[in-house]
Structure 1
């Protein structure tokens, strides 16, 4: 480890069968930050942050980035679609590592709004964002398709991460977050483990499920991406969806879906973000259940990139490197997102990519590349999907 001196401190979906590879009430942070026991009694490890150090595989002149960051005022501005409870452990530990960083501002925008806001401010020559973070695949791909929209920076952590960590030039995966199937366990009367299981339940009792299932609105970037991802990654998808969608109603956010499933307005829902489902499952123990569909669990990389004219560019580099590091990935998992670095321990209360492999099966994982889908393909898919929805 090198220590600081006193004076410095691609839209086609592929099934990656061989790889071990977005409103709910704000919960008390104690539940999120406490260490939990797993079934085997293993405790979630307390994050140990080494202040002012970096791995030996970092560039020999990495200290220059740290020195430059210290001169930027200790601030960082992030535009993202990520909840504050997800960010809390990450910000806490980043400030521990670099205590000269004292102020981090992160808003919680809609997935596409991140880029709308950034582009609008860039056009005026006054863009305060340092970092952009969202799992809106289509929006990221379109935004980054134009030059000078993302800083050309490759983290030294990339050499220690799987190849899928690089989503686009200058854009890395902060987490690899699955979307899944959720249901009200006290009302459903069954424990489905796949979309096909849900289809069989609907087919057996159509009256029970009429307007009692929720799916994501495919007119939004997130809803389109995860829905098309499932269809493209599962050759039998439409056979199940044609049974379910006539009983389903679309919602525009996972938070709304989760609230309505918990209250009983819906019996079940699918393509729900794990980032908000995991905390609800813990809070509503025994009522709200979340599972990885064994016939296709869509996984989205949560893209993180540095703005091309970031006011605090060096601090942004430190932050990006941190979230990809082992220390950062442990904080990512503690905040409720899904870490994918192999060295992050799989314990209860923290979620890893390996957990998806273990529970759904490696062959069930569907990763969505950061590629643009043509307008014609978007229209064809959304027309077919919406045509099946119940009226």
Structure 2
């Protein structure tokens, strides 16, 4: 079963999913089986420029393609997603719709929304789409009036219910958060946060200022850290040991580089979007593992801005990302796709793999809803008070 980070029950094995319309264990299995149904031979309809569309798409879908051509096919995306994650997605989208040209900026988690809001206030907002896995920031932004364009993607009915994170916000991927460590400097692999805590407490001199975690003052850092404490009733037993030896960073990319260089021995609550590619690129020098005492999973939200300059192209892109082809590209780029029929190859990762490696009972899902400031402030204060100097 999934664990909702808002449900602080007595044990991992007894927590139940809440919020977002997430599925129970029985319903989830059936839905995941159905969600990956491939169109298969003979079930696609011819589209413009060789872009066949599944049989469940609207009969007049070609009009959307024509409108995209009229727009010039340009698309501007504000995201907190690395270029290496984007590369296969943009490549395959371009192959399907050759007239398109996509620009995907890589911004800080909070900056995605701050920039969109500030530009919207001036009446000149160039972004067509927003992509981020900063749950708290997404939820806060999406509750504002006229923050997103209303669109009913034809792919929605082919996906599990939890794929739609909020009205007009879908999961581009479902990314786990784990532990990254320098395998040349740590003899044993930490398999859980509790395991890492034991290593740290047994050799505090070696680990002093050698552990990194995300800054909880940022939306992403708060979301994953708060989720873990809500999803694991024994979390603070481990965090009390680790945090005094830890230093915060504002991005997983910075954490990765410093773990690779040896400045840090390990980091916890590292995004898999950085962890998986780092493990591959480093030849295993950086290792990435999913904590068995609680693996936080974040939906990487994607939505269309309310006054997108290129709305037709944005709709094409959203439909593509949610499609079977798009989810294969998502996996190839190092993100975790969630359609059942994603082709599994070395280096690709899926949500089903997360369930297998971490264990279903260890998954902590983060709902897309705003945590009240009355809860945020004391949590941040408690967390930062425990950090080392």
TM-score range normalised by the length of the shorter chain: 0.7 to 0.9
Deviations 1:236-278 (CA, angstroms, capped at 9, x unpaired)? 1111111111111111111111111122221111000111111
Look up the match of 1:387. Answer: 385
Structure 1 segments (4+ residues) deviating >4 Å? 13-17
What TM-score, normalized by structure 2, do the two folds share? Answer: 0.87
Query: CA offset at residue 227 of structure 1?
Result: 0.3
Query: CA offset at residue 380 of structure 1?
Result: 1.0
Look up the match of 1:274. Answer: 272
* 1:160 partnered with 2:158: yes
Look up the match of 1:31. Answer: none
Measure, in 1, the Cα distance between the counterparts of 2:252 and 2:144.
30
Query: CA offset at residue 11 of structure 1?
Result: 7.9
Instruction: Identify which range, 187-196 or 58-67, moves more after superposition.
Output: 58-67
Secondary structure of 2:302's counterpart equals strand
Out of 228, 232, 253, which is 1:230 matched to? 228
RMSD of equivalent CA atoms: 1.8
Look up the match of 1:328. Answer: 326
Decide whether the 8 Å contact of 2:5 with 2:364 is kept in 1.
no
Deviations 1:49-71 (CA, angstroms, capped at 9, x unpaired)? 99321111112222222222221
Measure, in 2, the Cα distance between the counterparts of 1:94 and 1:132.
17
* 1:143 partnered with 2:141: yes
Decide whether the 8 Å contact of 2:5 with 2:228 is kept in 1.
no
Out of 331, 344, 347, which is 1:346 matched to? 344
Measure, in 2, the Cα distance between the counterparts of 1:86 and 1:337.
7
* 1:12 partnered with 2:10: no
* 1:88 partnered with 2:82: no
Secondary structure of 2:175's counterpart equals strand
Measure, in 2, the Cα distance between the counterparts of 1:73 and 1:212.
50
Query: CA offset at residue 122 of structure 1?
Result: 1.1
Decide whether the 8 Å contact of 1:15 with 1:367 is kept in 2.
no
TM alignment of 1:255-270, pairs within 5 A:
255-270=253-268
Measure, in 2, the Cα distance between the counterparts of 1:57 and 1:304.
22
Deviations 1:143-200 (CA, angstroms, capped at 9, x unpaired)? 1101211001121111111111001110100011111011111111211110010111
Secondary structure of 1:215's counterpart equals strand
Decide whether the 8 Å contact of 1:176 with 1:340 is kept in 2.
yes
Measure, in 2, the Cα distance between the counterparts of 1:112 and 1:258.
20
Unaligned runs of 5+ in 2: 8-14, 18-23, 33-45
Measure, in 1, the Cα distance between the counterparts of 2:71 and 2:16.
43
Decide whether the 8 Å contact of 1:175 with 1:337 is kept in 2.
yes
Distance 1:297 1:93, change over 3 A: same
Instruction: Identify which range, 365-374 or 58-67, moves more after superposition.
Output: 58-67
Look up the match of 1:290. Answer: 288
Deviations 1:327-368 (CA, angstroms, capped at 9, x unpaired)? 000011111111111111232211111111111111111110
* 1:74 partnered with 2:73: yes
* 1:124 partnered with 2:118: no
Look up the match of 2:40. Answer: none
Query: CA offset at residue 283 of structure 1?
Result: 1.8
Decide whether the 8 Å contact of 1:233 with 1:366 is kept in 2.
yes
Query: CA offset at residue 95 of structure 1?
Result: 1.3
Decide whether the 8 Å contact of 1:89 with 1:331 is kept in 2.
yes
Decide whether the 8 Å contact of 2:108 with 2:251 is kept in 1.
no
Measure, in 2, the Cα distance between the counterparts of 1:127 and 1:283.
36
Look up the match of 2:20. Answer: none
Measure, in 2, the Cα distance between the counterparts of 1:376 and 1:151.
30
Decide whether the 8 Å contact of 1:15 with 1:233 is kept in 2.
no
Measure, in 2, the Cα distance between the counterparts of 1:290 and 1:353.
16
Measure, in 1, the Cα distance between the counterparts of 2:63 and 2:281.
45
Out of 180, 202, 205, which is 2:203 matched to? 205
Measure, in 2, the Cα distance between the counterparts of 1:286 and 1:300.
25
